[in-house]
Amino acid sequence: MSKLDFKILKQKWNARVWQITLNWVTLTTPVFMPVGTKATIKWMVLDMLKDPKYIGDLPEIQLILANTFHLYLRPGDELVKEAWWLHTFENWDKLILTDSGGFQVFSLWLNKTKWPMTNDQWLMDSWAHEVNMKLTEEGVKFRSPYDGSKHMFTPEGVVDIQCNLWSDIMMVLDVCSPSGADKTTIEQHMKMTHRRAKRAFDHLKPKYDDVRGVLFPIVQWGTYLDLRQQSIDFLSDYAWDGIAVGGVSVGESKDLIREVVAFTASKLPQDKPRYLMGVGTPEDITHAIEQWFDMFDCVLPTRLGRHGQAFAAGGNIKITNAKYTKDFTPLTDDCGCYTCKNFTKAYLHHLIKEKEMLWGILLSLHNIVYLHKIVEDWKTNMLKK
């Protein structure tokens, strides 16, 4: 049972180029997915990602990410459904992957260190709308960061929310353990995620053919390789169309991340797409590609852009530095994006000094295209071998 067609184009050692066809869109992997958390990529017009004027001679970007947690809260998944679903709502005619909200709830959980929560009490700073959460067998309770209202995510409900959004690729509701958590806690979270995954897939199965999206399970569990193995063994049965790997971008050291990535990749089903969540530096993407991972996402390109940093071969360029005041050279020489073809470092430095928001647009565009170029160049070289 699979709606996603995944076939090999080229494979060599621990690297591969595959073709994905889903909902009448065909793309090749590896692929980097820009993050459009709230039905938009920050400071970007989505058409720019498909226009040669902005991305140069690269193939158009065909897969982006949106965030279930935030879209459920605002504007609401029912409103998005009423607007003829997310693709129409944000005017995007390619593929959309939605995460489950598990990581967002986890990140809000960190507030517990500031406001401890007892088993029977919700605690919240009413002015800042700080969020607390509570894990239960039924699901996860949390308060909205927008207005403090109470909500519950269940495995079944999160599938329904993503179906309302009309996502192409959906994620199960997992439990994301914090970096440094003890093994007993992580094992409890693992077993809870396994139960949630079964519930989610049992819920989806009767309507699988009637909804747009496919569903990926998520392997987590920190740096404990034996737990990773247990999770792979259990969740591989639910990799109907693909499988995701999380828990490698929540505070671990780079060496540990790479150890976990290499170990996990060697154990995953080989005939399904593999999505490594939250990875977005050039070097980490390249390493993961060489470990048979196919899909990546990260907020880093746009976040760095808004803070005046640009990816470059010799290390990130901090365009705020005074040395760029009279630097009339392009941002980089080896990027064909709109920013690099049309503007100098001096101009970009001027924009950020004057707080003109165009700086964030131009740098975010460059950073997205830079990562897109890495995966596209890698595919081209691989197919030539």
The residues annotated as belonging to the active site are 99, 297
Residue 344: partners with Cβ closer than 8 Å, 6 or more residues away: 327, 328, 329, 330, 331
Residues 301, 280: contact at Cβ < 8 Å?
yes
Which residue(s) pair with 344 in the sheet? 330
**Residue 17 phi, psi dihedral angles, 5° rounding:** -120, 120
Residues 47, 34: contact at Cβ < 8 Å?
no
**Cα 282 to Cα 315: distance, rounded to the nearest angstrom:** 10
Nearest to 122 by CA among 140, 138, 104, 146: 140
To 5 degrees, how large is the angle CA 271–CA 16–CA 6? 40
In eight-state DSSP terms, residue 178 is P
Could you tell me the strand order of the sheet in which 140-143 lies?
A: 133-135, 140-143, 150-153
What tokens does 371 get?
A: 């990562």
What tokens does 175 get?
A: 């439990």
**Cα 67 to Cα 54: distance, rounded to the nearest angstrom:** 25
Q: Would you call 263 helix, strand, or coil by DSSP?
A: helix
**Cα 18 to Cα 271: distance, rounded to the nearest angstrom:** 10
H or E element at residue 373 = helix 358-384
